[in-house]
């Protein structure tokens, strides 16, 4: 019985004439590509967006900037910049597919410090929104022109 590896496939030939072909996939190994894992875990809507975020430096794995094809393993620390807020997660599992959100959330856990920091930032943003003056009605065309003239004169 001999085996040869050819482009990710293992071909096993026994003493007979028939050959057995078995494929090795990412699902069978203990690691995933980072962009694929982020897409499976539903942090990004498409793999292209995940790849762009990783390449843009918005994603760090174990406190290091990595490439989209970098391998993710269980127990790794992931740092994401989501809408300007940095969140830290621990990888708990490697999903086999892009399933529902409830299933995806079982594969990661946000650190306590990160959750607390994000809650504080949300509260600050909410309070800042309440303190901004807001008119009761939208400005009409005449009011918009006055506002634009006022802004232009101030600069």
- The model's pLDDT over 82-126, given as tens digits with 9 standing for 90+, comes to 888 899 999 999 999 999 999 999 999 999 999 999 999 999 999
Strand partners, 12: 3, 20
Residue 89: count of CB within 10 angstroms of its CB? 18
DSSP conformational letter for 71: E
> CA–CA separation, 29 vs 34, rounded Å?
14
| CB-based burial label for 37 (10 Å; 0-12, 13-18, 19+) | buried
Give the DSSP H or E segment for 114: helix 112-131
pLDDT band for position 27 (50/70/90)? very low
Q: What is the pLDDT of residue 71?
A: 96
Handedness of CA 95, 96, 102, 106 (dihedral sign): negative
Q: What is the pTM of this model?
A: 0.67
Long-range CB contacts (within 8 A, 24+) of 75-80? 78/108, 80/43, 80/53
Strand partners, 21: 11
Q: For tokens 């946000």, name the residue.
A: 110
Strand partners, 60: 65, 79
Distance of CA 138 to the CA centre of its chain: 37
Name the percent of the chain lying above pLDDT 90.
Answer: 69
Cβ-Cβ contacts under 8 Å for 81 (sequence gap 6 or more) = 53, 58, 59, 87
- List of domains in the chain: 1-29 (no CATH), 31-131 (3.10.290.10)
Strand partners, 91: 108
- The model's pLDDT over 39-67, given as tens digits with 9 standing for 90+, comes to 999 999 999 999 999 999 999 999 999 99
């Amino acid at each position: 019985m001999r085996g040869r590896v050819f482009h990710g496939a293992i071909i096993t030939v026994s003493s007979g004439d028939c050959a057995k072909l078995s494929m090795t996939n990412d699902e069978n190994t203990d690691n995933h590509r980072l962009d694929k894992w982020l897409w499976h875990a539903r942090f990004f809507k498409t793999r292209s967006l995940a790849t762009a975020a990783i390449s843009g430096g918005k994603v760090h794995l174990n406190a290091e900037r990595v490439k989209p094809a970098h391998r993710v393993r269980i127990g790794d620390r992931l740092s994401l910049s989501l809408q300007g807020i940095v969140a830290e997660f621990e990888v708990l599992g490697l999903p086999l597919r892009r399933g529902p959100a409830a299933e995806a959330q079982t594969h990661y856990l946000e650190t306590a410090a990160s959750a607390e920091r994000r809650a504080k930032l949300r509260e600050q943003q909410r309070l800042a929104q309440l303190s901004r003056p807001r008119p009761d009605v939208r400005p009409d065309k005449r009011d918009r022109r006055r506002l634009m003239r006022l802004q232009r004169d101030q600069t």
